[in-house]
Structure 1
Amino acid sequence: MSHTPLPPSGRRRGLPFIVPDDWTPEQALAVFELLDDLREVVSSYYACQIQDLTRQDRQTHHHPPDDEPHDPF
C-alpha cells in the first residue's frame, strides 16, 4: 500500500493533486503560471486578512499556571 504525503495544508480529504509523469515542460510552465496568477489575484483581495490569519496561526499561546508569577523578573 503506497502512502501519499499530505499537502502543506494538511488536508486529508478532497481532490488529489498529483503531477503526471508525462507532462511536458511547457505544460508544467502553464500550470505554474496559472497558479502564480491565481495567487496574485487572491492576495490582491485578501492580503491583509491572510497576513493576520498567518500571524495568529504562528503565535504561541503560553499561559502560565495561576501559581506561577506572571512577571519573570
Structure 2
Amino acid sequence: MKPYHLPSGLGGGLDFLICADWTPEQALAVVELLEDLRDRIWAHYELALFDLLREERTGPGEPLPGDHSTADDWPDEPPF
C-alpha cells in the first residue's frame, strides 16, 4: 500500500487509528467537524497564517510573483 502524503509533510510518527466500521453518516459528521474547525482557525489567524505560508514558500528577501515595483519605476516604453 502506498503511504499517504500528509499536508504537514510528516513522514513518520505515531499511528492514528480510525475505526473502520463507521457509518457514512458518522464519517461525514467527522469531516464536517474538521472543516468547521479549519474555518474557525482560519478566521481567527488569517493574516498570521498568510504571512507564515508566504515565508515558508519563498526564501528570505525573494519577492512574490505579484510583487511589482511602483508605476514610477516602470520604463516609458513597453518591452515589445
TM-score per shorter chain, which class?
0.5 to 0.7
* Aligned alpha-carbon RMSD (Å): 2.7
Give the Cα–Cα distance (whole angstroms) in 1 for the partners of residues 19 and 7 of structure 2: 19
Residue 5 (structure 1) shift = 4.3
Which residue of 2 is the match for residue 13 of structure 1? 13
Q: List runs of 5+ in structure 1 lacking aligned partners.
A: 63-73
- Alignment TM-score, normalising by the size of structure 1: 0.62
Q: List runs of 5+ in structure 2 lacking aligned partners.
A: 62-80
Equivalent residue letter for 1:44: A
Question: Paired residues, what number?
Answer: 61
- Alignment TM-score, normalising by the size of structure 2: 0.57
Which residue of 1 is the match for residue 70 of structure 2? none
Give the Cα–Cα distance (whole angstroms) in 2 for the partners of residues 60 and 18 of structure 1: 36
Equivalent residue letter for 1:30: A
Which residue of 1 is the match for residue 58 of structure 2? 59
